[in-house]
Structure 1
Amino acid sequence: MPRRHPVVQVVIIALTVLAGSPVIAGPLEDASAAARGGDYPAASRMFRALADQDNTYAQYNLGVMYAKGLGVTQDSAEAMKWLHLAAAKGLAIAQNDVGTMYRLGWGVARDDAEAVNWFRRAADQDFMVAQNNLGDMYAMGYGVQRDYSEALKWYRLAAEQDSPYAQNIIGIAYEHGFSVQQSDADALAWYRRAANKVYDSSHLTLMHGPQYNLAAMYAAGRGVSKNNVQAYMWFTLAAKLGDVKAPDLPGVAAFGSSKQTALEQRDTVAALMTSAEIAEGEKLAREWSPHPVVFIRPQAK
């Protein structure tokens, strides 16, 4: 993997309604329905009643509500309490969120080694987001000795589950020859896989998203015949999906991120195109539709 310090993929803890056990499926579904309908005070009361009965899924959802301040006063320590209870019983999504809490020091003292421990538990259950998070920890050497090969192992597992984040990073590795044999063809293939999905790049500060990276390959004719229309299309989509800032200087220096934004790159390409070619690029961008991504959420054992 790159000789760099990529940004940890901070998982935004979100209210995720999980299937309940058959015994209390009715009450849990009532609580879930209240949450989906935006009645968070009622949902929090119902989740608490079930959480007090040791229901794993209710404990997780109650923890999320405290983390987000939904229907209750935001309280990271209380969130950690409930998330930890669900995580200790093997719920992968809770294990990943506990790892995130330790990584960020929310409701608990920051502890990267403990974050790695919880990310690994979830990743071992094939939880895709945790596989990405564990890959990030190995890539940066946070909580573990830096090991790019180990990082790439976890990114590949996430990529097999169609994670555009992981697929983009693998593309970067092949483009620059980081811990793999440099290959423009392989880089292009991985960028294309990632770029054909909706991918919010706005949170990235050290790297561009896959739509940008794919556009750059077309613009330069690397791994594919040079094609300004395709480059224009993909730079347009990159900007639309949030890739509108230049990466931080460490990203520029460490693994070759371009200082130019997607819109700047698009304008550079446009200067080489006819009006008809620009119109075609804009048409392709308007007509583009993403491939669906199916997320697998392992249940508690």
Structure 2
Amino acid sequence: MVVVFGNPFISFAVTLWTLASVLPVSAGRFEDAEAAVNIGDYATALPLLGTLADQDNTYAERLLGIMYIKGRGVPQDYAMGMRWMRIAANKGLADAQNEVGILFQRGWGVERNEAEAVKWFRLAADQGLVLAQNNLADTYALGLGVPQDFGEAFRWYHLAADQSSSYAENVIGIAYEHGLSVGQDYAEAFRWYRRAANKIYERPGDTWIHSPQYNIGAMYASGRGTAQDNVQALMWFTLAAAFGDTKPPGPLGIKLLNTSKYTALEQRDRLMALMTSAQITEAERLAREWRPHPIVTIERRAK
């Protein structure tokens, strides 16, 4: 059955227009403009960017689009932001193509058009841009602008996961935990959650699904896919809360996946009530000492 939701999650809390993500170019003036933007010196940045844009500098055109979209140094103007972003996107810049897709998907500065958003996501995803691969995967997962197709969604999630996307790895873990397009397999879900949880999560504000730190904590707490371990569970719930997984789940997650209604803080407190002070102290120590240490590969079990 095709399930279509009117409130898509594609761009929830993603840093879609991070100023630092603009690719460097040889022109020193662009680097000067970018540095000025990063410190909030828009009076210096805007004239430099305007001159560069007049010279067909694609990166300056994209950055001007960002400034209008975010209202940095200029009044916020989505239509003007789209204008500049389209110029850069039409020249083949993957970051700009992805952002044009977001603008169409949200209806910012242009009439909302989910099918047009998919077109731009695909152009950027075909160039290997991880953000676009995840956004394209999301459209297939929810049937936004394309027929719902979990198989195609997870093809793109896997491509993003191959580039170490913690969001994609987390979604793949959810697929195995809930049996979406794959056989339900708690051990496989745990392995994907572990791979994502050992990194800084790239979408900490998403609420349609919990963070991988939360998800792996829940598996330790219940003993699904791994040995039950309250100390490990408390460590991961503590980290999930520290990384921002502190809001109730959104209605999309509840409807699609029956996402747990408890926040990481609530899970932490519920778990602590079942533990000794020594166990709590150990879990808190593990959380304090945790450092990102990506697990690059997933060992697949023989079937």
Does the TM-score normalized on the shorter chain lie above 0.5? yes
Q: Name the counterpart of 1:35.
A: 37
Listed as ranges, the gaps of 5+ residues in structure 1 are 294-301
Determine what percentage of the aligned residue pairs are the same residue: 57
CA distance in 2, matches of 1:292, 1:68: 32
Q: Any idea what the Cα deviations from partners look like across 1:155-194, whole Å, max 9, x if unmatched?
A: 1111111111111110000011110121111100110111
Preserved contact between residue 34 and residue 40 of structure 1 (Cα < 8 Å): yes
Q: Could you tell me which of 14, 17, 23 is aligned with 2:18?
A: 14
Q: Could you tell me which of 269, 291, 297 is aligned with 2:293?
A: 291
Deviation at 1:287, TM superposition (A): 0.9
Q: Name the counterpart of 2:179.
A: 177
Say whether residues 1:110 and 2:112 are aligned partners.
yes
Q: Residues 17 and 202 of structure 1: is their aligned pair in 2 closer, same or farther, counting only changes over 3 Å?
A: closer
* Superposition pairs of residues 1-301 of structure 1, within 5 angstroms: 7-10=9-12, 11=14, 12-15=16-19, 16-20=21-25, 22=26, 25-199=27-201, 202-291=204-293
TM-score (norm 2): 0.90
Corresponding pairs, count:
290
CA distance in 1, matches of 2:223, 2:38: 47
Q: Residues 4 and 195 of structure 1: is their aligned pair in 2 closer, same or farther, counting only changes over 3 Å?
A: farther
Greater relative contact order: 1 or 2 (C-alpha under 8 angstroms, separation 6 or more)?
A: 1
Deviation at 1:203, TM superposition (A): 2.5
Preserved contact between residue 229 and residue 280 of structure 1 (Cα < 8 Å): yes
Deviation at 1:134, TM superposition (A): 0.4
Deviation at 1:267, TM superposition (A): 2.1
- Which region of structure 1 is more displaced relative to structure 2, 230-239 or 251-260? 251-260
**Superposition CA RMSD, Å:** 2.0
- Which region of structure 1 is more displaced relative to structure 2, 252-261 or 10-19? 10-19
Q: Any idea what the Cα deviations from partners look like across 1:4-30, whole Å, max 9, x if unmatched?
A: 85722344323243212x4xx122222
Deviation at 1:200, TM superposition (A): 5.9
CA distance in 2, matches of 1:182, 1:220: 16
